[in-house]
Amino acid sequence: MHRATTDTGLHALLEQLDPARTLEQTAARADEAMISFRSCPAQVTQWREFQALSVEFLRHVEGRVLRLRGGPWVSFEHDWGRCAHLLMTEFGGSSGDKAAFELARTGNEGGLYHVLRKLASRLAEEYAGNEIRARISDWWNRLTVTQKFAAMDEYLAAFGHVLPSELIEDTAARLRASFPKVLAQHPYLMQRFRQLGR
């Protein structure tokens, strides 16, 4: 790997962002939560029961993913709002929570198990993304201006050949303008390359 004359700490950051340490670890903890959750009925026919089960599941997964004991849960309404948001994201927009309930009610397309699996996956993705962005922000904010430019050059030298062309054209102006956002995509890029290599 090309080394800039200024120590940027980029290599250490990229090791921390490795998909095995971020995306895959978080997904594994969500899978563990899915397995360890109490047994559920194959179908849930009442809306209120669906809401209660979803909130209980969200709290369980969150506790496992974040390694919390007893969680910082505010209220049922607050946590249901979070569930509804995740379900809307996963199941088609503003009525996604209703679409998820319909699957849980009818048992179609994997029913309740499918809904809970999607909820766990979405939650894991959000927390992995938060962790990645927090590590990048902490690292970036500690760099001097000189180190920031050196880190961009170092990253381009090491990964420019695998980045989308729109990021590296015109002296990599787009990459330089939003380098922390580009770095936030690095674990996903590396994960895709590893999956292609299998």
* pLDDT tens, position by position, 69-102: 776 677 999 999 999 999 999 998 889 999 999 9
Alpha-carbon distance 56 to 62, whole Å?
10
Alpha-carbon distance 121 to 31, whole Å?
8
- Check residue 4 and give its pLDDT: 42
pLDDT at 138 over 60: yes
pLDDT band for position 137 (50/70/90)?
very high
Q: How far is CA 85 from CA 37, 76, 94, 116, in A?
A: 21, 14, 9, 14
- Check residue 122 and give its pLDDT: 93
Q: Give 190's contacts (C-beta < 8 A, 6+ positions apart).
A: 18, 19
pLDDT band for position 197 (50/70/90)?
low
Alpha-carbon distance 188 to 183, whole Å?
10
Alpha-carbon distance 140 to 55, whole Å?
36
Residue written as tokens 């209120």? 48
Tell me 178's DSSP state: T
- Check residue 77 and give its pLDDT: 94
- Check residue 69 and give its pLDDT: 76
Token pair, residue 76, equals 């049922």
Tell me the mean pLDDT in the region 1-21.
Answer: 82
pLDDT at 1 over 60: no
- Check residue 2 and give its pLDDT: 45
pLDDT at 5 over 70: no
Q: How high is the mean pLDDT of the chain?
A: 90
- Check residue 3 and give its pLDDT: 46
* pLDDT tens, position by position, 17-65: 999 999 999 999 999 999 999 888 878 999 999 999 999 999 999 999 9
pLDDT band for position 104 (50/70/90)?
very high
The DSSP result for 105-167, as a single string, is HH-GGGHHHHHHHHHHHHHHHHHHHHHHHHHHHHHHHHS-HHHHHHHHHHHHHHHGGGS-HHH
Token pair, residue 121, equals 């996956």
Please tell me which of 72-76, 151-155, 166-170 the model is most confident about, judged by mean pLDDT. Answer: 151-155
